[in-house]
Copies of this chain bind each other. A is one copy, B any other.
């Protein structure tokens, strides 16, 4: 079996690549290395089962050429940052919606029938039901990022119906762990290393968030892929708990051994489209036998340790 992993040199993509190789797959990583890193593929490079193609998912011809001969597509490449949508609305449309269309068309051209796709809990907008199940009341979108992932989910489902494909769609909470390269835990650690005396937190700090450790995330995806049997399989993928932003700040500062002054920008939301409360009902995936191994607190601490040991990641970004 040969798997094609877009964004395979990135945070989640490289972990998935490692796992697919461990499970016996040959893997083609297709990545433009905008946030992907050669270093993240060091493990995978040691096997003879990895082929890395430098390319952009918006280059439909290059994408299609590289995909030829694969049996499974994992479309992980995306603009994965919800926060900057309003500054660059075209980015979510192009890098998520149009890119996913290109992936689906390439699959159709080559007769590839199976797709793994990470979506996001942000597509629930500001839900009224907690923990939020996959069949929650039809939500209203509050972020351009969520809207673009919703567009992808819709297209993927319609392609499954029209062309007999099978999809495994995962609505992620924020993912943490080794190779983590963006998001507010990343920002906190970077800013605290630059100035251990002071930290500015967006919002009032009372936003309730859920996180999942990356190895648990990858395991959840593979459990679903190996066991779920519907044409369109949609799963929430998160922890059975949540924390407040103040909690994660405390865990981070304790781990770093510092006592900064914390300044809160105020407001229930950290940015436009920020959901004040994310807590997903993951019972559907648990019913297949999956469960996370790390608590949110342990996932945060492990991420802090990783970033401290790989400070070049913090410094490489503005």
Contacts and interface: CB of A to CB of B under 8 A. Distances in A.
Interface stretch (A65-73, A139-147, A188-196, A309-317): A139-147
A217 B260 CA distance: 59
A159 interface: yes
Contacts of A162: 85-86, 89, 143-144, 272-273
A161 B137 contact: no
A273 B98 contact: no
Interface residues of A, number: 42
Interface string A129-151: 00000111111111110111011
A147 B136 contact: no
Contacts of A125: 157
Contacts of A144: 155, 158-159, 162
A104 B148 CA distance: 14
Nearest to A147: B154
A232 interface: yes
Given A162-B272, A272-B162, A273-B162, A146 B154 contact: yes
Nearest to A122: B158
Interface string A264-299: 000000001100000000000000000000000000
A212 interface: no
A93 interface: yes
A129 to B, nearest CB: 11
A157 B174 CA distance: 22
Interface in A58-100: 85-86, 89-90, 93, 97-98
Interface in A94-129: 97-98, 101, 104-105, 108, 123, 125
A142 B155 contact: no
Chain A interface SS verdict (over half): helix
Contacts of A85: 158, 162
A147 B151 contact: yes
B157 A142 contact: yes
Contact of A98 (B93, B105, B146, B148): B93
A105 B146 CA distance: 18
A234 interface: yes
A89 B163 CA distance: 11
A141 B160 CA distance: 9
A154 B137 contact: no
Contacts of A148: 154-155
B161 A89 contact: no
Contacts of A136: 137-138
Of A98, A162, A272, most B-chain CB atoms within 10 Å: A162
A157 B143 CA distance: 8
A304 to B, nearest CB: 31
Of A104, A147, A159, most B-chain CB atoms within 10 Å: A147
A174 B92 CA distance: 31
> Which 4 interchain pairs have the tightest Cβ spacing?
A151-B151, A147-B154, A135-B137, A86-B162
